C-alpha cells in the first residue's frame, strides 16, 4: 500500500516500538501519537517533523470519544490506525500472583482497547480510497511464555480477532488489516523479562512494519517470530520449549 501523504494514529507512541514507528513514518506522513502521559508524548515529538500529540487513555471510553472527535475536526481524515499500546505483568501462574486482576488490566489495553478504537475509527477509515489497521501482537500470540502468561493470552486473542477482521473487511471495503508480531524487543515494557539484554532494537520492528505495509505482507513476523511460527506448525511442543526452557 501507499505509505506517503497519510494521516496516521499510533497508540503508545511516546516510547519503544510506537516511537520508532513514528520516526520511520513521519518524514512522509502526518503522524499523531497518543498515550496517557502528555509530557512523555511532547518529549517524544519534540525533535520529529510532522508529529503531533494527543493525550488520551485508550482504556477510557470518554477519552477515546474525544480522540476520535479531535482527529475528525483537526485532520478530517485517518488513513492508518496502529494499535501499538501494550501493558504487561511479569509473573508465573504458580505464584500467589493476583492473576485475575492482572489479566483484566492487560486485556483492557491489549485487546479491548484496540477493538473499541477500530469500531470507533472504522467509519473514518472506510472513507479513504486506501486505508489500513495495524494491530501489534507478539511472538507469544503463537506460543505463550510462562513469565508473561496472561499477556500471552491477550496477544493470542488479538491475533484471532485480527484474522477475522481481515477476512471481513476484505469482502467489501478498502481497509487492509495488518498484524505486526515482534519477538522480545528492547523497550521499557520488556526490561523486567530481559528485553534490555536479549531484545532486538525497536527500530528493527519499525523497519519491518514499513516493508510489510509497502509490500502488503499482512502478517509481519519479525525476527524469531518467523522461526517460532514455522516450528509451531511443524512441532508445537518444540516451539513451546524454545520460549519456556
- Yes or no: say if 235 and 193 are a contact pair by the CB < 8 Å rule: no
Gyration radius of the chain's alpha carbons: 17
DSSP letter at 230 equals: H
Residue for grid cell 467509519: 123
Distance CA 187, CA 203 (A): 11
In this structure, what C-alpha cell is assigned to residue 201?
A: 532494537
Nearest to 1 by CA among 174, 164, 219, 226: 174
151 labelled catalytic: yes
Options 89, 91, 111, 151, the catalytic residue: 151
- Yes or no: say if 124 and 69 are a contact pair by the CB < 8 Å rule: no
Give the active site residues.
151
Amino acid at each position: 500500500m501507499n505509505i506517503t501523504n497519510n494521516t496516521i494514529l499510533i497508540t503508545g507512541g511516546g516510547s519503544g516500538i510506537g516511537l520508532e514507528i513514528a520516526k520511520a513514518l513521519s518524514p512522509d506522513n502526518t503522524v499523531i501519537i497518543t498515550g496517557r502521559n502528555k509530557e512523555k508524548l511532547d518529549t517524544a515529538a519534540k525533535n520529529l517533523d510532522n508529529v503531533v500529540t494527543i493525550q488520551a487513555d485508550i482504556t477510557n471510553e470518554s477519552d477515546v470519544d474525544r480522540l476520535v472527535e479531535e482527529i475528525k475536526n483537526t485532520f478530517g481524515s485517518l488513513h492508518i490506525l496502529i494499535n501499538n499500546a501494550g501493558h504487561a505483568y511479569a509473573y508465573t501462574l504458580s505464584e500467589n500472583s493476583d492473576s485475575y486482576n492482572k489479566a483484566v488490566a492487560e486485556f483492557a489495553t491489549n485487546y479491548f482497547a484496540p477493538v473499541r478504537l477500530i469500531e470507533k475509527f472504522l467509519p473514518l477509515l472506510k472513507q479513504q480510497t486506501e486505508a489500513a489497521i495495524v494491530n501489534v501482537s507478539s511472538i507469544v500470540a503463537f506460543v505463550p511464555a510462562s513469565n508473561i502468561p496472561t499477556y500471552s493470552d491477550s496477544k493470542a486473542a488479538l491475533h484471532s480477532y485480527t484474522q477475522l477482521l481481515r477476512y471481513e473487511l476484505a469482502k467489501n471495503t478498502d481497509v487492509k488489516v495488518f498484524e505486526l508480531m515482534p519477538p522480545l524487543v528492547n523497550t521499557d515494557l520488556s526490561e523486567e523479562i530481559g528485553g534490555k539484554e536479549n531484545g532486538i532494537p525497536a527500530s528493527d520492528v519499525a523497519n519491518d512494519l514499513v516493508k510489510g505495509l509497502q509490500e502488503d505482507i499482512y502478517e509481519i513476523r519479525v525476527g524469531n517470530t518467523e522461526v517460532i511460527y514455522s516450528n509451531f506448525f511443524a512441532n508445537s511442543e518444540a516451539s513451546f520449549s524454545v520460549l519456556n526452557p
